[in-house]
Structure 1
Amino acid sequence: MTVNEHIGEFHGLPVHDFLAGRAEGTELPAASAVAWKIGLEYDSPLDFAQAWQEFLDTVDVAEVTAVVIGNWAPEEPDSLAEPLAAVLAAADRLPALRALFIGDITYEECEISWLQMCDITPVFRSFPELEELVVRGAAPDWEGAGGLSLTPLRHERLRALRFEAGGLPSTVVRAVAACDFPALERLELWLGVANYGGDWTTADLAPFLSGASLPALRHLGLQNAEQQDEIAALAAQAPVVARLTGLALSMGALTDEGAAALLAGQPLTHLATLDLHHHYLSEEMQQRLREALPGVAVDLSDQQKPDDNWRYVAVAE
């Protein structure tokens, strides 16, 4: 399975596709009223740098608070490095930017495992007021160079961070853990599988589960993993869980074993949400969870066959 829909909302704002709106002749919304998406259609006559420049020249970008980067390669997959450099070169023209989504791309445009990424460290340095960042994809280029990377740093303002991948590299997981994010309230990692570069181990997740370096964290997502049972067992004893309002162990191969470990661990009744969607739980275990957590919004949607010998994560290829 993979990503099959574009986002319709980001940072609390409706997404407005800049190029599609221009082609249709629709009136421009107020600059601060929408999250502006800049992305190329297949066989576009523009390259990304040209589309981005048109956006800068047309919209009052000084008032823009949210930007969504869509498909940057109109035909074949290509590295994010040059498109991202074009965005970062205009950072001084975007003083109000608070949210950035990199890679609102569906499988029809490019499989998530083919999205050729780069070092995203400059994003944090270029936008010191950024509050929300989503990054989709992790792959190197066709020659095996590049790929998603991050150098540990401190960012004062970031409140929400999500990495979406069919396989998240261990170097990135460890780099996130080594960052200093004093304001971070939401952290979500789509960990993925080894076949698509997810060489992380559960030991790499220890800093997130302790929560010692994330004083403001209130929502933690460790998702999209074949080892979801093991992660659930670790979360059942994790110190950070006691101060969370939301816990997401969804999108992976969670079975009754992992759910039983959750129920046998520390109390979870203080949570507002427990996201377990895309799971391999029996009907009996789902009922146990509902009964044990009557005041918690438990998402048990997208049940897979509990007795299926081939258990897959929600997003891989």
Structure 2
Amino acid sequence: MKAVRYSRFGGPEVLEIVDLPDPSPGHGQVRIAVRAAGVNASDWKKRAGLMDQELPQTLGYEAAGVVDELGEGVTDVSVGQRVFGFSTEGAAQAELAVLSSYAPVPPSLDFAGAAALPAAIETATRALDRLGVGGGGTLLVNGASGSVGSAAVQLAAVRGARVIGTAGPANHEYLRSLGAEPVGYGAGLVERVRALVPGGVDVALDVAGSGVLPELVELAGGAEHVVTVADFGGAQEQGVVFSRGDDGRALHALGGIGELIESGRFTVRVARTFPLAEVAEAHRVGERGGVRGKLVLLVG
């Protein structure tokens, strides 16, 4: 099968499309013919040598496609079914991928939309669970217009929370459409949020890593009411929880998202798609920043 791989660390130019052996699913896993695979910031961090140090490495933790082989013990899906989910092997950017956690593709979504779901909804759900977000509380999301941020906004709104989200002016209407009250980021954030919630918020989630953890701690009334998924150094300095899934992933999010999508309570925005062979360009676009939605590779 064709797959994305790199054998040295560096810029996007180190990415190659290579031939690798076809994978086989283990117990409880399924293999899919990949139709689309999500691209995440962790991909270029790994490629640059900022995370895992093993070489060579494949890429991709989320994909959508058609089941073509079942592992032992799998009874909840069948060959030919459209599914999306996680590849724990980190090899989803390929023609074939083994998924360890999966769910049916919602009927109204295409493969690109489904491939944009797993990382965003799992990360958002994990953070909301950690913060105890529910009805009656107020959540501040820093970086609310990105893929994880917009997922957190919508999932928190479904739970009955009041949501305030930071974003640039161009994304304020988008946040309103998701059910959030937008505020601009940058200097004066505390004052702008207090204009909406004079007593501060109940909890805050940082998905942007833009150095505002001190302000979030102030607004939420303490570090114990703040979670970040993007600022490891700041979390250590401020005593804030940095959530990266080591303490358990919120895989239940996969099974519940379909009903929310079909009922119109959750939407996913794909910013741009690329053929698998143009993965290097996808990295360049992602690293430049400012992407409104998810970058997705199309396969086949």
TM-score, length-scaled by structure 1: 0.29
As a proportion of its length, which structure holds more strand?
2
Higher relative contact order (CA 8 A, sep 6+): 2
